[in-house]
Amino acid sequence: MEKNSFESGYATVNGLKMYYEIHGNRGIPLVLLHGGGSTIQTTFGQILPLLANHRKVIAVELQAHGHSGDRDTELTFEQDADDVAALLKHLKIEKASFLGFSNGGSTTLQIGIRHPTLVHKLIAASAIYKRSGMIPGFFEMMKNAALENMPQPLKTEYLKIAADKSKLQVMHDKDRDRMIFLEDWPESDLRSIQAPTLIMNADQDVVLPEHAFEMSRIIPNAELMILPGVHGAFLGEICTAVDGSKVVELVVGVLEEFLQK
């Protein structure tokens, strides 16, 4: 493929029809894993073209999200990690780096835990591994979460691209329930991650900066970056992107330096 070329498709992995896109063609692929309730475009629409200028980027949509299908199973970070690993096997990719945001960040960590031979480097943005990593009141809020309170840009994008638009409620409820019933991971899981890892967080995130700091000290070969702003803003996420901000370009520079060293 030529630089900044594009292809998209579906692969059946673990009984799931999973959508993926491939942008660019250089070097070890970087796999992008979106946040809960999101799509490739809503999480990575701003940053993806900048990353694809430098490398091959593979962006996926996870179970029940975006173009992808669903299964009669709950959502888990472990299953998402296994689905991504199966997709890369389907694509005949033996080694990749991973950038995940929010729920996708926790999935990225699970890839490092469950599929270490697949990993070149990990970038986990606004990820958690235990309940105390979220701001006070988060889980009480999730218990009362309703579709009408879901951010409109996320609903609009889902309805624009989903094959079955009636599944919006299903996606919302599965994402909600994943968080409500989240169980802490043992620290030993994080200590098992051997790949170079960059932990990223915002200073006004729904994930506590202290939690990001803690993870960066538990994972053996980890670095930490705390940026100003709210959840997703430093990636240009659709609900929190700041018009005219240079932070996304700054982040791309940091990511490229991390991936290349």
Query: Is residue 140 in a domain?
Result: yes
Query: Is residue 1 in a domain?
Result: no
Residue 28: the pLDDT is 96
Which one-letter amino acid corresponds to residue 258? Answer: F
Instruction: Tell me how many domains the chain contains.
Output: 1
Residue 1: the pLDDT is 40
Query: Is residue 184 in a domain?
Result: yes
Query: Is residue 119 in a domain?
Result: yes
Q: What is the pLDDT of residues 162-185, one digit of tens each?
A: 999 999 999 999 999 999 999 999
The pTM is what? 0.97
In the predicted model, residues of the chain with pLDDT beneath 70 are 1-3
- Dihedral sign computed on CA atoms, order 224, 225, 231, 236: negative
- Ordered alpha helix ranges (H), the chain: 40-44, 48-52, 77-90, 103-114, 138-143, 152-161, 168-180, 187-191, 209-218, 247-260
Query: Is residue 202 in a domain?
Result: yes
- Dist. CA 129–CA 18, nearest whole Å: 25
Domain that holds residue 247: 6-260
Q: Provide the b/e sequence for 37-65 (b: ≥16 CB within 10 Å).
A: bbbbbbbbbbbbebbbebbbbbbbbbbbb
209 closest CA partner among 218, 217, 200: 200
- Per DSSP, 261 falls in state -
- Dist. CA 82–CA 76, nearest whole Å: 10
Query: Domain containing 172 — which CATH number?
Result: 3.40.50.1820
- Dist. CA 186–CA 19, nearest whole Å: 31
25 closest CA partner among 51, 61, 62, 60: 51
